Structure 1
């Protein structure tokens, strides 16, 4: 499927499901997304991440609606709980089945996205693995000097920004 049309379909489907309060539609979309992911050979560890990462925000929404809203509606809490999983599943299907280069080229050709913007996004996406490697190198260099850098350490991010400036 054309990646730009697939993106438009996901956006329109998400927008439509935002205004529909039918639980069975949410469950059908989730099942269809999971079947697509199974067909695409989605790994079981990825399914675990897909199930457990949005669980905390979904439970927070559910508890807020059921216990703290004026209506105390179990149905509304369940619909919003499942809606969050619908959004996550749709995004996962789109992300897992679409190549970023093909998407950028498709958006540039079909929706007349400026080429500078399309290739700027591609450059940023391709820079992410290099930044991860640079942060790992900075962390290792700090350990070799006896400096323990944590993920919250401003020194780590300052040095990573200096590396990024050097690359630019």
Structure 2
């Protein structure tokens, strides 16, 4: 994920997902170039990116290759992959995200840019189905561990 200097308002967030993307594409031996252009920063950019990327991955049709497949030629002599079972495509299962703004004991779901700036901290929660996959906590002003723990308990995110 690359960004230019002039877009550096709060876009360091995108560098945080770089490792996760590398792991995902290494698993499927794929590569991609992601370009983005933010027309207006209304906040929650990290969760927006994850959710948009999720939509893109669900639209990709990767062939499911098992021991039961053939390569055949079509009428134009192009070689095509043809599976002999019902599972033609791999279902891409990516991560969803939601961002919270924490101000004192208040929690704002999907905060605007102004709410993010006013927050003591912003927390982006990454999840797949009902499983917590990661947390990104950004804080300009700092929050107490007690406030953070209370938030996790209130959202059922605290792991035993």
Task: Mark yes or no: TM-score above 0.5.
Answer: no
TM-score of the superposition, structure 2-length normalised? 0.27
Higher-RCO chain (CA-CA 8 Å, sequence separation at least 6): 1
**Greater per-residue strand proportion:** 2
**Greater per-residue helix proportion:** 1
